[in-house]
Amino acid sequence: MMRRGLGLLGRGIVEQKGLFAVSAVGSVLFGAMTVADAWVLGWATDHVVRPSFARGEVAQGALWTAIGLFLAVATLRALGVIARRLIGGIVYYRLVATYRRKVTRQYLALPMSWHHRHPTGQLLSNANADVEAAWAVFMPLPMAVGVVAMLAAALVAMVEADWVLTIVGLVVFPALFGINVFYQRWLSPRVARAQALRGDLSAVAHESFDGALVVKSLGREAEETERFTRATHELRDANIAVGRIRSIFDPLLEALPNLGILLVLVLGVGRVASGAAEPGDVVQVAYLFTVVAFPVRAIGWVLGELPRSVVGWDRVDNVLQATGSMAYGDGTVPGAGAVDLRLRGVAHRFDDAEHDVLQGVDLHVPRGSVTALVGATGSGKSTLTTLLSRLVDPRLGTVEVDGLDLRTLDHGALASTVAVVPQGTFLFDDSVRENVTLGLDVPDEDVWEALRTVQADGFVARLGAGLDTQLGERGTTLSGGQRQRLALARALVRRPRLLVMDDATSAVDPEVEQRILRALAERTSDGSGPTVLVVAYRKATISLADEVVLLDGGRVVERGTHEELLERSSVYRDLVDAYDQAREASA
C-alpha cells in the first residue's frame, strides 16, 4: 500500500510539478519561519524578559529588536501559508479536473458493450467520488513537505539549545510513525470497502430516479425505499467502522506530542535548577515541540489518506485502462447529399451470448432511397441500427457508406454522415431550441425547417415561448409522440447523409407518421434529403418505402416492395397483419 501510494504521489507531482514546487517552497518557508519564531522567542527570553526582571526596567533597544524580529518572521510565515494553501489547493483541483475529463473522455471512447456491463451509478462514482478520493492526499501533502523541512531545522535548533532535552523529546517521533504505519494497515481494507459501497449506493440511487415512473405506477415505493435503505445502512456501517478506527488513533496521535512536551518541561526545570541549561534554551525547546507537534500530524494525515487514495485510484485506473476503445480513422465521405449504404457479411453477438444476433447479413440500401426494415422482436433490427452509428462494431464483416468502411472514418465525419434516432427518446431540461440543436450553431430558420419536416412546428409554435420554451426534465411537459418528433428534428437539423430511424415514430399517430415519412421521402427524391433506413411495423408506413427488408433470426430472408412481400412471404404477411390487429384491438 505504501509503495503504491508513493507511486501515486509521484504521478501527481510530475503532472503538476511547477505549481507543486511553488506550494512546497511556501510550505518549507512556513516551516523554517516556525523554527525561527522559536529562536526569536528564546532570544527574547534571554535578552529582554530576564534582563528586564533583573534590572526592574525594560531595555527599549532589545524590546524593539525582538518586536522587529517577530514581525519579520510572522510576515514571511504568512507568505508561506498563503503559497502552501492556495497553490496546494490549485494543484489538487487541477488534478481532479484533469482526471474527471480523462474518465469522461474514456467513457465516450469505450463501446456500448462496455457500458452495458457497468451500472450508471458506478460510472458517476468513478468520475466524481473516486477521482476526488484518488487525489485527496494532495490536500495535506504540501504541509507534510514543509513539516519535513521544519523537523530538520527544528532538530538543528533544539540540539544547539540543549541536546539532552532534544534526545528526550525525540523519543516521541518514532512512536508517532509506528502508530501511523499500524493505523494505515488497519484502516486500508475498511476504506476500500466504504469506497466500493459508495459506488453501489450511487448505482441504486440512479436506478431509483431513472425508474421512478415504473416504481410509482406499480406501487413499489416501499420496496424501493427498503432497497435504498439497505445500501445506505451498509455504507453507514462501513463509514462508522472507519470512524471507530480514527477515534482510537486520533487521541493517541494528539497525546504523544503533548507527553513529549511535558517530559521536556519536567527535565528542563531540573536542568535549569542545576545550572546545566539556560531558561531560554528550555523555553525554545519546549516551544519547538509545541509548534512542531501539530504540523507533524500532517505526515499522519498523508499516511492515513493514502489507503483511500490508492483505492480511489484503482477504481479510476480500471476505467482508464479498460480495453475495447473504438479507434477511428482520418477518412471523410466525399461529395454531398445522400449516401449509398452496404453491409457485407455482418455478424455480431453480445459479450456473454453464445449465438450471433446477426448472422452473415448482406444488405444494400441505394443512395437516396427509403428502405423499411421489418422483423419480429429479437430478429436483430435494433442491433443493426447500433452498428450503423458505430456504437458497436460488428464481430465479422463491414459496414460501408459510399464504399468506405465506417472504421476508417474520422469521428466527426461519421457523426456528420450518419444520424440514428433510437427507440427511446431523451430530452434535456432545456429549451426546445437547445434540445434540437444540442449546441450546434444553426439559424432558427433551419430549426423550424426540421420541425416542419417532422410535423412538430405546429405544437412548438403553440408552446408558451416557442423555441425558447423550457421542456422540463426528460421533456415531461410533452407527450410521447411530441418527444419523438423533437428527437427526429434533432437528427435532421444536422443534415445527415444517412438517417436511421429505429421505430422512432412508434408513439406518433399513424396519420402524422405517414406525413413525416412522406416529407422525408420527398426531400430524398429531390436530392436534398438523406438516404433513409426505417425500422417500421405499420402497413401504411411500410408501404411508403421504396423497398422492404425482412429480418428473421438475424438474417435477411426477404426483400422487395410491400406488395411483393405480401404476395410471396407468409412470415411477412403474418407479421404486419398481427401488428395491425393488435393496434385495432388496443384502440
Q: What pLDDT sits at residue 351?
A: 67
Q: Which range among 17-26, 304-313, 386-395, 423-432 shows the weakest confidence by mean pLDDT? A: 304-313
173: domain range?
A: 2-320
Q: Is the dihedral of CA 204, 207, 213, 214 positive or negative?
A: negative
User: Do 351 and 305 lie in a common domain?
Assistant: no
Last residue of a domain, one of 258, 287, 320: 320
User: Do 292 and 349 lie in a common domain?
Assistant: no
Q: Which range among 43-47, 81-85, 376-380, 580-584 shows the weakest confidence by mean pLDDT? A: 580-584
Task: Assign 96 a pLDDT band (cuts: 50, 70, 90).
Answer: very high
Q: Which helix (H) or strand (E) holds 472?
A: none
Per-position DSSP letters for 520-559, written without gaps between them: HHHHHHTTSS-EEEEE---HHHHTTSSEEEEEETTEEEEE
Domain contains 327? no
Domain contains 182? yes
Q: Are 407 and 393 in contact (CB under 8 A)?
A: yes
Give the mean pLDDT of 184-210. Answer: 76
Give the mean pLDDT of 65-88. Answer: 84
Rounded percentage of the chain residues whose pLDDT exceeds 70: 88
Task: Assign 296 a pLDDT band (cuts: 50, 70, 90).
Answer: low
User: Do 173 and 255 lie in a common domain?
Assistant: yes
Domain contains 207? yes
Domain contains 552? yes
Domain contains 524? yes
User: Do 313 and 382 lie in a common domain?
Assistant: no
User: Do 279 and 411 lie in a common domain?
Assistant: no
CATH number reported for the structural domain that contains residue 435 in this entry: 3.40.50.300
Pairing relation of β-strands 418-421 and 498-502?
A: parallel
Total residue count of the chain as it appears in this document: 587
- Asked whether the predicted pLDDT for residue 101 surpasses 90, the reply is yes
Question: Structural domain tally of the chain?
Answer: 2
Alpha carbon distances (Å) from 222 to 5, 138, 208, 211, 213: 43, 42, 12, 14, 14
Q: What pLDDT sits at residue 99?
A: 92
* Neighbour-count burial of 465, counting CB atoms closer than 10 A to its CB (0-12 exposed, 13-18 middle, 19+ buried): exposed
User: Do 74 and 130 lie in a common domain?
Assistant: yes
Domain contains 163? yes
Q: What angle do CA 508, 575, 378 make, to 5 degrees?
A: 85
Rounded Cα–Cα distance for residues 367 and 531 (Å): 6
CATH number reported for the structural domain that contains residue 31 in this entry: 1.20.1560.10
User: Do 242 and 369 lie in a common domain?
Assistant: no
User: Do 316 and 351 lie in a common domain?
Assistant: no
Last residue of a domain, one of 320, 354, 375: 320
Domain contains 245? yes
Rounded Cα–Cα distance for residues 460 and 58 (Å): 86
Q: Which range among 31-35, 135-139, 386-390 shows the weakest confidence by mean pLDDT? A: 31-35
Q: Are 307 and 192 in contact (CB under 8 A)?
A: yes
User: Do 184 and 301 lie in a common domain?
Assistant: yes
Q: Are 279 and 50 in contact (CB under 8 A)?
A: yes
Task: Assign 87 a pLDDT band (cuts: 50, 70, 90).
Answer: confident
Rounded Cα–Cα distance for residues 86 and 104 (Å): 27
- Asked whether the predicted pLDDT for residue 146 surpasses 60, the reply is yes
Q: Are 337 and 497 in contact (CB under 8 A)?
A: yes
Q: Are 114 and 322 in contact (CB under 8 A)?
A: yes
Nearest in space to 310 (alpha carbons), one of 170, 466, 188 = 188
Read off the C-alpha cell for 563.
406488395
Q: What pLDDT sits at residue 102?
A: 92
Rounded Cα–Cα distance for residues 492 and 456 (Å): 12
User: Do 255 and 364 lie in a common domain?
Assistant: no
Q: What is the pLDDT of residues 431-477, one digit of tens each?
A: 888 888 888 888 888 889 888 888 888 888 888 788 888 887 777 77
Give the mean pLDDT of 399-410. Answer: 89
Q: What is the pLDDT of residues 342-366, one digit of tens each?
A: 999 999 887 666 788 888 889 999 8
Last residue of a domain, one of 320, 352, 370: 320
Give the mean pLDDT of 223-248. Answer: 86
User: Do 198 and 298 lie in a common domain?
Assistant: yes
User: Do 437 and 487 lie in a common domain?
Assistant: yes
Domain contains 209? yes
